[in-house]
Structure 1
């Protein structure tokens, strides 16, 4: 191998390696943030913990609310979880997507295009961070609230984690509620509601 080729190969390897290191530092340094920031106003930001569903659930179904920010990069990590839950939904489970009040027509249209058969609504509730979800039982009682996963890549412990929670709610063996907010991962801050 000539010296010019060897030098070119070394330069290419260095550039690619530097790009990978910068990407890792940028992504992992930026995304591993607390779900509930230390400066959050606990009284305003925990409105999701109310014991009724933010949607009028008179259907007698288990309700899963996906809190979704259309312009949040972290949706890339949560999209497989959302897609899997929605496609595996059974007759007694209702999936709905909540976007921030005042998000606008473009955001609503984008989410509608991605999830065409899912009920999508704006909400005044502030879950603090997204992507996240809330699961309500058939009586409208909150049973789970928190993220889809934790850590920089927001990987959940098992693909069956939320289906198992839903099944336990269905058969009456899930007691109390699980509020999973003391974690870090890839989250975006839920914006304050834009009232008309």
Structure 2
């Protein structure tokens, strides 16, 4: 083998290795979110029962209830944190006035690694949860599910259509058409065991 061919071979192997490493580190969690991964019927039923049993707070005032399913150990959660920070600081017109703190509920294995935006949310315990994270669910005050799926379209949270905001507006009474869910492609991980 000539020196030139050896150099080309080494360069090719290096380039393929770098691309494979990039793919594994950056794109391994981006995939199709199958409906079965959301465990929709189990989650929908259990959270609806929780909302109805509460009897006060969100249910009496007609406010939507948002449940965040987040595992701080998932690499996809970092973009979700930034997205939630934008939502809490940005004006969401009439929805921001209708969404006091007690309408946000959080399901997470632990608080370690969570930003302050999420640490103050009321943590809940559920037996039925989506198989992947991060996922958000929006319920009307009567316990009917409006949306369960990714926070937004695209490979990272906040990079496409803001599905959480659209679902909140819909749950608050604005008749906005929601995109078909679950989203075909998103960044998500399996829960840590």
Once the two structures are superposed, the pairs formed by residues 19-30 of structure 1 within 5 Å of their partners are: 21-30=19-28
Structure 2, unmatched stretches of 5+, are 1-11
- Tell me the residue number matched to 1:90: 96
1:148-170 CA-partner distances (Å, limit 9, x unpaired) = 134433454335x4323322332
Counterpart for residue 142 of structure 1: 145
Aligned CA-pair RMSD: 3.7
Q: Provide closer, same or farther for how the CA distance between residues 181 and 70 of structure 1 changes in structure 2, counting only shifts above 3 A.
A: same
Which whole-Å CA distance do the structure 1 matches of 2:43 and 2:180 have between them? 10
Aligned pair count? 169
Q: Give the match for residue 131 of structure 1.
A: 134
How far residue 109 of structure 1 moved from its aligned partner, in angstroms, is 4.7
Structure 2 distance, partners of 1:112, 1:57, is 29
**Alignment partner, residue 10 of structure 1:** none
Bigger proportion of residues as helix: 2
Partner of 2:30: 32
Gaps of 5+ in 1: 1-13
- Number of the residue aligned with 1:181: 182
> What corresponds to 1:9 in structure 2?
none
State the partner residue of 1:118. Answer: 121
| TM-score of the superposed pair, with normalisation by structure 1 | 0.65
CA contact (8 A) 1:53 1:136 kept: no
Note if 1:49 corresponds to 2:44: yes
Distance 1:116 1:77, change over 3 A: closer
In the TM superposition, what whole-angstrom CA distance separates every residue of 1:16-40 from its partner, at most 9, and x where no partner exists? 97886355311344122232387x6
TM-score (norm 2): 0.66
